[in-house]
Chain A
């Protein structure tokens, strides 16, 4: 668990994923829908990586694939271990998840302490007393106190429950946390507390995070690098500053335009919001909504690096940049 070690903690290489449409047995329909389209990304050690996109774009699917909850094609390596070759138990030491709804993630009939000790028990770490101490320390680290170990999830508020989930995820000292919309279900003031917690807890111990969210503001606030996903493929990826302050892909610009803020009264680029054309199969995923699309866009563009010399990588999937 030393964060000084160089290299990437997560490598996702050419990952695709399909789901088949309805029907059982021989009635199962033959065609398959592709969700993830050849997704590749890497997350460095101690890096916070943000993944943004609209609902249905495949951002959670990618998270689930990394966690090994769904089948996929391609390779996913976590801490140098191939996802497909290592047992699930071995993996959980390196990778943990925090989900959107903390209440459904906690067992309502078990105390917080029991739930948080569960991973330690599963991995046979420490004696019962040591585990108790570890849980108490972790509870303090996430901004609660040791007395919470005896409580039940229903006695806690939404924000406290999310703190417990974060504590349970961190207790095995994993190298990678996948946070899937971890603040989306919380109230604004409580969500801010959790965001602060993620920031401060990172200073205390080294772990990387894949932060999945639909909220570009939150992702920009928390993350070092951002990838924007649209219809299962990454359309733009770069440092948080580059993607947020200097967006290149029309979709990223559309997303930024559509965020309602309370500083300006109107949309920055209204034209972007109103473009629609009939979709064309095999075209660039954004073809039907793009204001700049031409016939050239009827093919799928590659991800290309648009960064100036000396700058960090800024990948964009568009012909016209």
Chain B
């Protein structure tokens, strides 16, 4: 296992340096960056003991106060990236390269104790299915208070008051009754609101949301998205929002990163990505969604399938499904190209610009 991980690591290291290096002036100049991933690479152990890259050379910046979306299909590595940030990777997933910088520290190198101090206070996470994250045997009020008592020294009365206020804040009408309820007595939307309350009770700097509305009905989803947006605007909480649904991304995110098979394809403002996508994958993804004016015609879907993690991929993982793939796509990984306005794309179809484009070098 260890050997294979190391070979995997070497593989990425010998590859061409494709990003703005972390020590470039760009990084120091922008003090708005609250969290940044630099060349993050994660390997997953396969059944036969070998390791395959599930996230490869992923670099991005999260700016203070923004809602940054990561969109992609299953297996693209979006959830793994978030789990790496939270330090919640399963034992068979190992970070084999790169860094995640938060608050001047590399999150991948933290000890257990240091991690405990950060999780829940500075970084918080909400998941897709609230029922599995809530303790079914504990009343909501107690579960919520737990987070506060772990990170801060406050009286029981104070905790109770804060919990009540917060539950009202997240839109629960009878907060008093909700405090005394068990998770199973609440509806899906209510549970997700409770989860959001729990995740924000310590006023974290960054809230990671991993498909928080996928399990909810569309009408409930609209409410939860509104709530997240309000939390972002009112408290200035930075949100890293994971979703597979471009519609949801459009509703909530300021900027988007599109991932495919462990790599970033394209990143930019939500408007730029959805109105003027550059990467063939993003284009195909947008085209394949059934909408009002597509009734009665064939959906122009992307041929082929998402490659499984353990499969060996081309340097540009999308090449086998790409209608405009060239020979170079199968021999060398595309470097980053700026399209202006912070819109970047990893694709050989676009010209690499001069050094003036440095700022576009990273999502």
Known: A221-B295, A258-B218, A273-B223. A189 touches B285 (CB 8 A): yes
Whole-angstrom distance between the Cβ of A267 and the nearest chain B Cβ: 7
Contacts of B247 in A (CB 8 A): 259-262
Closest chain A residue, CB of each to CB of B300: A192
Complex: A202 Cα to B284 Cα, angstroms: 24
Q: Which residues of A sit under 8 angstroms from B285, Cβ to Cβ? A: 188-189
Chain B residues whose C-beta falls within 8 Å of the C-beta of A35 in the assembled complex: none
Q: How far is the CB of B44 from chain A (nearest CB, A)?
A: 17
With A55-B188, A189-B284, A192-B288 in contact, do A260 and B222 touch (Cβ < 8 Å)? yes
Q: Mark B263-305, 1 if CB is under 8 A from A, else 0.
A: 0000000000010000000001110111110110011011101
CB-based nearest B residue for A187: B73
B250 touches A196 (CB 8 A): no
Q: Known: A260-B250, A261-B250. Contact between A188 and B222, CB under 8 A?
A: no
In the complex, the chain B residue whose C-beta lies closest to that of A241 is B295
In chain A, residues 169-190, which have Cβ atoms closer than 8 Å to a Cβ of chain B? Answer: 187-190
- Using C-beta atoms within 8 Å of the partner chain, give the interface range for chain B: 35 or more
Asked if A195 lies at the interface with its beta carbon under 8 angstroms from chain B, I say: yes
Interface flags for B306-343 (1: CB within 8 Å of A; 0: not) read: 10100000000000000000000000000000000000
CB pair A187–B306 under 8 Å, yes or no, is: yes
Whether, in the assembled complex, A199 has its beta carbon less than 8 Å from a beta carbon of chain B, the answer is yes
Closest to B286 in A: A262
- Given A260-B250, A262-B246, the answer on whether A187 and B74 have CB atoms closer than 8 Å is yes
A187 partner residues in chain B, CB cutoff 8 A: 73-74, 244, 306
Contacts of B220-234 to chain A: CB distance below 8 A: 220-223, 225
For the A-B complex, the count of residue pairs with Cβ-Cβ distances under 8 Å equals 106
Judge whether A260 and B301 touch: CB under 8 Å: no
Asked whether, in the complex, the Cβ of A192 is within 8 Å of the Cβ of B244, the reply is no
Q: Does A280 contact B (CB under 8 A)?
A: no
B contact residues around A158 at 8 Å (CB): 74
A196 and B298 alpha carbons, distance in the complex (Å): 6
Q: Which of A54, A220, A245, A263 contacts B219 (CB 8 A)?
A: A54
Assuming the contacts A221-B290, A262-B286, A267-B222, asked whether A199 and B298 have C-beta atoms less than 8 A apart, the reply is yes
Bound-complex Cα distance A214 to B217 (A): 8
How many chain A residues touch B (CB < 8 A): the figure is 38
Please determine whether B250 and A262 come into contact, CB atoms closer than 8 angstroms: yes
User: When the two chains form the complex, which single residue of A159, A217, A254, A258 contacts B289, counting CB atoms closer than 8 Å?
Assistant: A217
CA distance A160 to B304 in the complex (A): 10
| Candidate in A261, A265, A267, A273 with the most chain B CB atoms within 10 angstroms | A261
> Which A residues touch B301, using CB under 8 A?
189-190, 192-193, 196
Return 29 A-B CB contacts under 8 Å, by A number: A54-B218, A54-B219, A55-B188, A157-B305, A158-B74, A187-B74, A188-B245, A189-B306, A192-B301, A196-B298, A196-B299, A218-B290, A221-B290, A221-B299, A240-B295, A244-B292, A245-B292, A255-B218, A257-B222, A260-B218, A260-B221, A260-B248, A260-B250, A260-B251, A261-B247, A262-B247, A262-B286, A265-B250, A265-B251
Q: Which 3 residue pairs across A and B have the least CB separation, nearest first?
A: A260-B247, A221-B290, A192-B301
- A residues with a Cβ closer than 8 A to B are 54-55, 157-160, 187-193, 195-196, 199-200, 214, 217-218, 220-222, 240, 244-245, 254-255, 257-263, 265, 267, 273
